[in-house]
Amino acid sequence: MAASHNALDFRALFEAIPGLYLVLRPDLRIAAVSAAYLAATMTRREEILDCNIFDVFPDNPDDPMATGVSNLRASLLRVIADRVPDTMAVQKYDVRRPVSEGGGFEERYWSPVNSPVLDEAGDVVWIIHRVEDVTEFVRAQQQELAQERRTQDLQERAERTEAEVFRRAQELQRSNRALRESEERLRHLNETLEQRVLERTQQLETEVRERERAQEALRETQKLEAIGRLAGGVAHDFNNLLTVIEGTAELLLDRLQSPEDVQAVNTIERAAERGARLTRQLLAFSRQQALRPERVDLRSRVQDITELLQRALRGDIRIVLTLADDLWPIWCDLGELELALLNICVNARHAMPSGGLVRIDAMNMTLPDDGETDIGLVGDFVSVGITDTGTGIDPAALAHVFEPFFTTKEIGKGTGLGLSQVYGFTQQAGGLATIRSELGQGTTVTLLLPRSTQAEAAGPGQAPLRLRHSTGTVLLVEDDDDVANVATRMLRLIGYQAQHVHDPRTALALLLSGQRFGLIFTDIVMPGGMSGLEFARKVRQHFPQVPILLTSGYSHAAADVLEEGFIVLSKPYRADSLSEAIRQSLARDRQQHLA
């Protein structure tokens, strides 16, 4: 009885101690609890004894960041495993309120210590869980921290307010300074208003004049464009006529015996040649002349160039050509080069009403890729300088001389297209044109033309073209019956039989039917919606074994024709040039098949 009484006294003593204690079994069930613990956790002894501690005190389900259960469980397991006390850090562990007090959870902070009680064998038989409720201390710290934050915030706001006041004061100073400056500018503007009105009026008058000149230039451009289209169409038809005239004259020469008749036919041929030159000028004017760049040796053409330019000058103007001994050949369209030189010399003639000298100097020039020049050209060029001893050009006009329609001559004395042709020619050739002039000292126009890397072709001193007799059948595609008739007779003279059709679609139908031809000879400009170039592409695609020769008086697609590797024969043509063009077409076709 005494022992039992002592045990009961011990339990009563444990339950009455002021501290917050729990006694846990190793399976974490509650064996004893102090009254202070019950009061602090708002629980009753009979409800929690023999229950698992985590069933009685779970995490707050409304706090997804709650870690009380996991941290306490880890501490208790360390005590069981290590058999030594474990002191936990201050832990937020909310406790459940009784339903009578509104339910839910109350935020609490604890400072727990878990201590093992061992038996004689050293095994854990009890765990004493002691905690201190530090909620008020933590809240006081939080309030102190919040107060510090508010104080810091107020201090920062005060500093920002001070900085803002300083900034606005500076802005006010700047605004006052700007206001004073604006008042000074306004005063100055008021004082100079009359002068500015006068200047603006003059500027507007200049702009009106410029606009009127631009509108006049536009009207002139539209007029010339219309004339150009007309000239191009006329030249195209005229070349067809010249093909008939030249071809028929050439065929007649083989049959005539009388010297008078031969002379008459030769007269027809010379007239046709002049007509051909006229059509080339019309096509150049209408910008429909296909450029034919070639290797040009200026040294071998000194006499021809001198004679050409001397005819454009007067008898009181002397011309001197000085060409470097090692002058490189150039790559350009010879006809366009001659036209450019003529345009420059015509301008020189107008600038020397009392006679003078035109000097042409040509030398080699290499432009390095060193970034020191701003003309945008690199490589080997031939510089051709044309200098006159004329009156020179006013500096105000010098900057505009390459512009279309700009002229310093009197009305009706010039079109303003001469130097624009020079500029356009050098640009197309891959070079550049520049001009330098002084009043009373003369003018120098310099052409930079690219060096030719092509092998030397047959020179003018060699034998003229001769007929190369062949055999076979040629498919002739030509919409003009007269031209087709002359071409058929030329082909027969060369040795070919010709089958004539009027359009590419009929020609394609013949090829698709299985007929075979040794060559196709087609005009580029054709009716019916398919051009000769389009027809040639289809033939190359579907009948690559058939050589193709194209011809035209003019064509916008001439550049494409040459780029795509076709041979083009210009109208008007003769039997010997037709024979040579056929030979080149056949030779190129053989090379392509061998490759």
Q: How far apart (Å, rounded) are the C-alpha atoms in residues 392 and 543?
A: 61
Three-class secondary structure of residue 550 per DSSP = strand
Within 13 Å of residue 327, how many CA atoms lie on the same side as its CB?
Answer: 23
Q: How far apart are CA 554 and CA 552, in angstroms?
A: 5
Report the pLDDT value the prediction gives residue 128, as an integer from 0 to 100.
Answer: 94
Taking a C-beta distance cutoff of 8 angstroms, is the pair 400, 214 a contact? Answer: no
Cross-strand partners of 91: 110
Amino acid 234: pLDDT: 67
Q: How far is the C-alpha of 232 from the C-alpha of 248, rounded, in Å?
A: 24
How many residues are present in the chain? 595
Structure tokens at 246: 């030249």
Give residue 280's pLDDT: 61
Phi, psi torsion values for 365, nearest 5 degrees: -150, 130
The mean pLDDT of 528-549, rounded to a whole number, is: 89
- Tens-place pLDDT, residues 476-535: 999 889 999 999 999 998 889 999 999 999 999 999 998 999 999 999 888 778 888 899
pLDDT at 462 over 50: no
Q: Which residues contact 26 (CB under 8 A, 6 or more apart)?
A: 80, 124, 125, 127
* Residue 571 contacts residue 553 (beta carbons within 8 Å): yes
Distance CA(86)–CA(113), nearest Å, equals: 6
Residue pair 554/572 in contact by the 8 Å Cβ criterion:
no
Average pLDDT over residues 133-151: 84
Q: Quick one: three-class SS letters along 333-380? A: EHHHHHHHHHHHHHHHHHHCCCCEEEEEEEEEEEECCCCCCCCCCCEE
Tokens 């050509």 sit on residue: 321
Which among 185-189, 205-209, 474-478, 584-588 has the top mean pLDDT? 474-478
Q: What is the structure's pLDDT at 311?
A: 77
Give the DSSP H/E element, type plus range, for residue 30: strand 30-33
- Give the model's pLDDT for residue 461: 38
Confidence of residue 460 (pLDDT cuts 50, 70, 90): very low
- pLDDT tens, residue by residue, 326-340: 999 999 888 788 888
Read off the pLDDT band of 471 (50, 70, 90): confident
543, pLDDT greater than 80 = yes
Residues near 133 by Cβ (< 8 Å), separated by ≥ 6? Answer: 20, 40, 108, 109, 110
Q: What average pLDDT does the structure give for the chain?
A: 82
Q: By percentage, how much of the chain surpasses pLDDT 70? A: 84
Q: Which tens digits make up the pLDDT trace of 301-353? A: 888 888 878 877 888 889 999 999 999 999 988 878 888 888 889 888 888 98
Phi first, then psi: what are they for 109, rounded to 5°? -125, 135
Q: Would you state the structure tokens that stand for residue 307, as one six-digit string? A: 């004679």
Residue 262 predicted with pLDDT over 70: yes
Per-residue pLDDT, 243: 80
Q: How many CA atoms lie less than 13 Å away from 533 in the CB half-sphere?
A: 16
Strands 442-450 and 432-438: antiparallel
Output the DSSP codes for 37-55: HHHHHT--HHHHTTSBHHH
> Distance between CA 90 and CA 441 in Å, rounded?
104
Say if CB 106 and CB 95 are below 8 A apart.
yes
The CA-based diameter of the chain, rounded to the nearest angstrom, is 173
Is the pLDDT confidence value at 93 over 90? no
Give the integer Cα–Cα distance in Å for 95 and 69. Answer: 11
Q: What percent of the chain has pLDDT over 90?
A: 29
Q: What is the structure's pLDDT at 459?
A: 41
| Distance of alpha carbon 133 from alpha carbon 36, whole angstroms | 11
Q: What is the pLDDT of residue 284?
A: 52
Range 70-74 contact pairs with CB under 8 angstroms and sequence separation of 24 or more: 72/112
Cis peptide before 572 (omega within 30 of 0): yes
Mean pLDDT in residue range 65-80: 92
DSSP 8-state symbol, 258? -
Residue 245 has pLDDT above 90, yes or no: no
Q: How far is CA 591 from CA 445, 547, 565, 586, 587, in A?
A: 44, 11, 12, 9, 6
Least confident among 80-89, 174-183, 465-474: 465-474
Q: Residues 219-248, buried b or exposed e (16+ Cβ, 10 A)?
A: eeeeebeeebeebbeebbebbbbbbbbbbb
Residue keyed to tokens 């002592």: 6
Q: At what angle do helices 575-594 and 481-494 cross, to 10 degrees?
A: 70
Higher-scoring residue by pLDDT: 129, 102: 129
71 pLDDT band (50/70/90 cuts)? very high
- pLDDT at res. 322: 92
- The mean pLDDT of 569-581, rounded to a whole number, is 86
> What does the pLDDT read at residue 3?
47
Please answer whether residues 116 and 84 qualify as being in contact, where contact means their C-beta atoms are separated by less than 8 angstroms. Answer: yes
The residue with greater pLDDT, 349 or 239, is 349
Low-confidence winner among 153-157, 247-251, 289-293, 314-318 (lowest mean pLDDT): 289-293
* C-alpha to C-alpha distance for 442 and 390, rounded to whole angstroms: 4
30-44, 116-130, 388-402, 465-479: which range is least confident on average?
465-479
When mean pLDDT is compared across 117-121, 133-137, 383-387, 451-455, the lowest value belongs to: 451-455
Record the pTM. Answer: 0.45
Cα(372)–Cα(517) distance, rounded to whole angstroms? 58
